[in-house]
């Protein structure tokens, strides 16, 4: 749905509300997916849907209702439902108002080639990947997805925002046996920037290299984390402490630490939706223009991200990081950029007397949020390095590691960075070499 039509629907919907304030969030999605397994396409699907969320304010009471219909009678009903819900809510004395915001800056997040990418084009991409797998007696499993999304926000205080964007993501797991696998991925707003041949080559190479893995005992090791593994750790920092809700409630590792050293000097992380590799939506789900927010600067804790509610509680301005109004998690960063180093993966390996190379992690979960302790396992390519060379594959190992401690022990980072999408967050990160990384089992 284009801008004029979306705004027309929401402007009309605002007239149906009898509340003190009203906000309407419209999200439209055209999502296309090609899945493949054992070198054969197993699923082709297209999903076209939209969601309309109404948030209304009656005094200090707030109600939210949701529908996926934009028929006039259903729009009236969702607003009425939100108003009924608001009547039965507890008074929230800390709620100030819906936010107002100027128009967001122009950002090029939409690429027609991605939006128009056809099932046959995705199939050709899959074909190129599985040919590489087949030529090396490997079995390819993965997904190729493209999507076009629109987001439109209006409220009764004059906020009006619209954004149209595209995304493309290709992931491949190459298997050369029941316990031998390699993995690689590519992500970009422009599907033409995804190099499927290179992704397939990396995944297959790791699968072949993963044969006859050895078992290592638990303990502390030097590790080299590829970009996706770094992104998993950074993602959990975002969830654990870079949002204002846990920060204000004192449940964040950032609480009481602003201005203090929390990682090594070589770690700088910025929430930057305007970075040219991001081209992200320039406003949040309540229509507030996003700000670039330093989170960690040269190892020093600098700040967190806010929505309007927690900004009011803290007496600051919103940074434009509200999630949709039916969430309870609070704001968190969605476009984190980590500063690079001046090395590369080959140099990291050659400089390592003994260590472990990790492709990515699987099923990371919290152990101690305040200490940023997490656990999870290595997956799809874990290798022993000795005397500057990859010596053998290693059976997957379980980590028990403080993320802040790991980021305090970073010795080298790559100059090259990659985009890594995980759980709705996109990160632009380097690979890194870390000393004294803790493994607690297999």
Check whether 177 has a pLDDT greater than 90.
no
Same domain for 245 and 192 = no
Per the CB < 8 A criterion, the answer to whether 400 and 384 are in contact is no
Statement to judge: residues 178 and 46 lie in one domain: yes
Q: How do residues 76-122 score in pLDDT, each as one tens digit?
A: 999 999 999 999 999 999 999 999 999 999 999 999 999 999 999 99
Amino acid 442: pLDDT: 80
Q: What is the pLDDT of residue 355?
A: 98
Across the range 132-143, mean pLDDT stands at: 96
Query: Are 50 and 88 in the same domain?
Result: yes
What distance lies between CA 362 and its chain's CA centroid? 15
In angstroms, the Cα distances linking 232 to 206, 240, 427, 439 are 20, 12, 9, 16
pLDDT at 57: 98
Task: Based on the fold, state whether residues 101 and 218 are members of the same structural domain.
Answer: no
Looking at the structure, do residues 249 and 131 belong to the same domain, yes or no?
A: no
Total domain count for the chain?
Answer: 2
Shared domain check, 128 and 238 = no
pLDDT of res. 1: 87
Number of residues written out for the chain: 442
Among 203, 238, 256, which residue terminates a domain? 203
pLDDT in tens, 331-358: 999 999 999 999 999 999 999 999 999 9
CA dist 23 and 57 (Å) reads 9
Q: Which of 248, 327, 341 is nearest to 285 (CA)?
A: 327
- Domain assignment of residue 157, given as a range: 3-203
pTM value is: 0.96
Class of residue 216 by CB neighbours under 10 A (exposed 0-12, middle 13-18, buried 19+): middle
Same domain, residue pair 21 and 160? yes
273 with 296, same domain: the answer is yes
Of 203, 226, 255, the residue at which a domain comes to its end is 203
Look at strands 180-188 and 410-422 and give their pairing: unpaired
Determine the average pLDDT of the residues in 302-320: 97
Last residue of a domain, one of 172, 203, 234: 203
Instruction: Specify whether 108 is located in the same domain as 233.
Output: no
Q: Are residues 22 and 150 in the same domain?
A: yes
179 and 326: one domain?
A: no
Predicted local confidence at residue 178, as pLDDT: 74
Do 131 and 279 reside in the same domain of the chain?
Answer: no
pLDDT of residue 299: 98
CATH of the domain at 73: 3.30.2290.10
């Amino acid at each position: 749905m284009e801008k004029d039509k979306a705004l027309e629907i929401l402007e009309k919907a605002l007239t149906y509300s009898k509340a003190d304030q009203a906000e309407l969030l419209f999200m439209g999605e055209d999502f296309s997916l090609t899945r493949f397994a054992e070198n054969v396409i197993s699923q082709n699907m297209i999903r076209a849907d939209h969601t309309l969320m109404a948030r209304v304010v009656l005094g200090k009471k707030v109600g939210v209702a949701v529908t996926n219909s934009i028929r006039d009678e259903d729009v009236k009903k969702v607003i009425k439902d939100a108003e009924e819900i608001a009547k039965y809510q507890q008074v929230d004395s800390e709620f100030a108002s819906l936010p107002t915001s100027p128009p967001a800056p122009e950002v090029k997040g939409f690429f027609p080639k991605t939006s128009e990418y056809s099932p046959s084009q995705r199939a050709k991409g899959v074909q190129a990947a599985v040919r590489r797998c087949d030529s090396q007696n490997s079995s390819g499993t993965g997904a190729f997805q493209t999507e076009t999304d629109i987001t439109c926000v209006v409220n009764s205080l004059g906020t009006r925002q619209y954004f149209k964007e595209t995304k493309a993501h290709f992931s491949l797991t190459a298997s050369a046996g029941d316990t031998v696998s390699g993995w690689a991925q590519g992500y970009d707003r422009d599907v033409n920037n995804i190099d499927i041949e290179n992704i397939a080559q990396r995944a297959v190479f790791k699968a072949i290299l993963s044969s006859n893995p050895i078992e290592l005992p638990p303990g502390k090791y030097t590790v080299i984390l590829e970009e996706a593994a770094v992104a998993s750790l950074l993602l959990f920092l975002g969830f654990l402490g870079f949002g204002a809700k846990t920060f204000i409630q004192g449940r964040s590792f950032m609480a009481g630490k602003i201005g203090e050293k929390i990682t090594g000097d070589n770690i700088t992380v910025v929430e930057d939706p305007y970075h040219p590799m991001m081209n992200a939506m320039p406003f949040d789900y309540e229509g507030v223009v996003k700000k670039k927010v330093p989170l960690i600067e040269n190892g020093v804790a600098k700040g967190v991200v806010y929505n309007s509610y927690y900004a009011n509680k803290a007496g600051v301005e919103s940074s434009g990081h509200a999630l949709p109004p039916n969430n309870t998690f609070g704001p968190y960063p969605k476009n984190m950029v980590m500063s690079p180093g001046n090395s590369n993966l080959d140099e990291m390996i050659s400089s390592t007397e003994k260590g472990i190379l990790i492709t990515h992690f699987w099923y990371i979960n919290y152990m101690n949020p305040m200490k940023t302790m997490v656990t999870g396992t290595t997956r799809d390519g874990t290798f022993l390095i000795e005397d500057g060379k990859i010596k053998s594959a290693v059976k997957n190992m379980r980590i028990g590691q403080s993320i802040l401690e790991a980021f305090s022990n970073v010795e080298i980072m790559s100059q090259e960075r990659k985009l890594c999408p995980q759980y709705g967050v996109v990160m632009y990160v380097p690979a890194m070499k870390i000393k004294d990384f803790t493994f607690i089992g297999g």
